[in-house]
Structures are given as structure tokens and as C-alpha cells.
Amino acid sequence: MGGSSPLEGIRVLTLAGNVPGPVAAARLHRLGATVTKVEPPTGDPLAPISLAWYRALTHGQEILRLDLKDPARRERLHPLLEASDLLLTATRPAALERLGLGWEQVHARYPRLCQVAITGYPPPHENRAGHDLTYQAAAGMVAPPGLPRTLLADMASGEQAVSAALALLLARERGQGSGYTQLAMTEATDAFAAPLRYGLTAPGGLLGGGLPGYGMYPTRQGWIAVAILEIHFREALERELGVNSASREALERAFLARTAAEWEAWADARDLPIAAVRDPAAQ
């Protein structure tokens, strides 16, 4: 952001644990917002399974432990709500209502407060249980028996929650009053799965193996990712490799001559989009 803080002076109160809420809160904090995170007495479920990531996502935030199921302790939440511009939740709406934290309840008491509520499914199924794997499976983003290499549904929902928050805050500043957005993780996942749904990245699609210039190739040691899409890249690759046509067979033979690291350096020197495939565990 070049040192700018567009959300300076904005206060965010988040009750959202696990991944989508913390991802959104971390982005809002990086944009300049002051973030207070309320966790249950046992803490955020993310912390015991990935402490380093939890710490990265909550860096610079105030962390409070409150048992919101206890009415007396829940009263400590109200001054925080009064002072906040945005409430971020990732709890099923029925549970929030039982706590007196449903949108209508909150809005009646804090009319300036905006809210982004992350749910698994859209109405009328917003109280249905789910997690990243089930959302990705429903969107066709997994190939059994393998598991996804990233939490796409969680990350997509976190990013869309930021967009929703910014839209609500902007509308309020323009005099349209505070508002509420319910963001379903299944819908966020479907949006990020559009390239697959439209066939672009489906098996055999142009970016799913249909183009020889866009794919993975073994080398003398390791693999490389080749993303030669534009004509000028293809012509340059053919010229530099000394092949008449960048067919899959020609590229397979050519790329066995060097290691993945060598091909990456070779491509960088020639401004070609080729990268060595790295092991995320080694980074």
C-alpha cells in the first residue's frame, strides 16, 4: 500500500475464528484498521494446529478471551460493539441470535455498526455445517482420493469478506447507513471455481492440458511449470530451443536436457514464463 493506511480510524471487532475470519481481519488490519479479536476461553481453533499461521494472522491485533455463553461475561462485549465500525462473525446465525448478537439485535442497539457474517451456505441453509473440504468438494475442486493443497474455500471467503466490509463502510460514509452482508462460503468457492466450471482448467481444457505451452514438464532433475500462452512467447521459445513447433513431444524431449533450476535461470534470462516446481515444505 506504499505506506498508506486507508482504513486508519476504523475499528473492527471480530468474533470469527478458524481461517476465513482471521484472513479477512488480517487484511483489514494491513489496510490500517484497528482490530480487536474476541476468542472463546479455549482460544482460536487455528492456534493448536498451526500456531505460526495463527500468529501471523493476528499480528498487531488485540486478543481478548471471553466466554460469550456466560451472560455476565458477554456484557463486556457491549462497550467493544459500541466503539466499533465493523463486526466480523463466522458463527452460524442461529447461534448468534441465541447470544443476542443477531443482526437485528445488534443493529437496534448499535445503529452505526456494520456487519459481515460468514456462513457456510446461503439461506435457507445458513445453519448447515461444513468446512473447506466439503465446500471444495461441492464445487468440484477436488480429485479423490487426493486432498486440496490449499484451503481455497477459506481463503476465497476471507478475501470476499474484505470486499464486503469495504463496500459496507463506504456506503455508510456516503450516508446510506450501516448495513449487513451475509457471505456464504459455498458461493465464494463457486466464484473462485469459475475457470473450472467454464471448462478453462477442466481436464483437456486450454489451461487443463489442452495447450502444450501451458503445463508441467519433467526435467533432468525436478519439474518445471511452463506458461507459454501468447504468440510472441511461443515463437521465442521455439527459436531459443531450436524446435520447429512447440508440440508436447518436442518440449518433453527438450526439457530433459537441463535441471529445473537451470531451466528457470535460462527462462529468466530470455523473459520467458517458466518456473521450477518447488516443494512447499522446503520453503
The question of whether 271 is a catalytic residue gets the answer no
Separation between Cα atoms, residue 171 and residue 165, nearest integer Å: 10
Q: Identify the three-state secondary structure at position 114.
A: strand
Say if residues 200 and 207 touch (Cβ distance below 8 Å).
yes
- Number of other residues whose CB lies within 10 A of the CB of residue 196: 17
Place of cell 482471521: 22
Burial class (CB in 10 A: 0-12, 13-18, 19+), 203: exposed
The DSSP secondary-structure symbol of 147 reads P
Grid coordinates standing for 205?
481444457
Out of 67, 154, 190, 279, pick the active-site residue: 154
Q: Could you tell me which of 52, 53, 18 has the C-alpha nearest to residue 37?
A: 18
Complete DSSP assignment for 153-198: HHHHHHHHHHHHHHHHHHHIIIII---EEEEEHHHHHHHHTHHHHT
Q: How many Cα atoms are found within 13 Å in the side-chain-facing hemisphere of 272?
A: 26
Is 120 within 8 Å of 130 (Cβ atoms)? yes
Question: What are the beta bridge partners of residue 29?
Answer: none
Q: Which residues are marked as active site?
A: 154
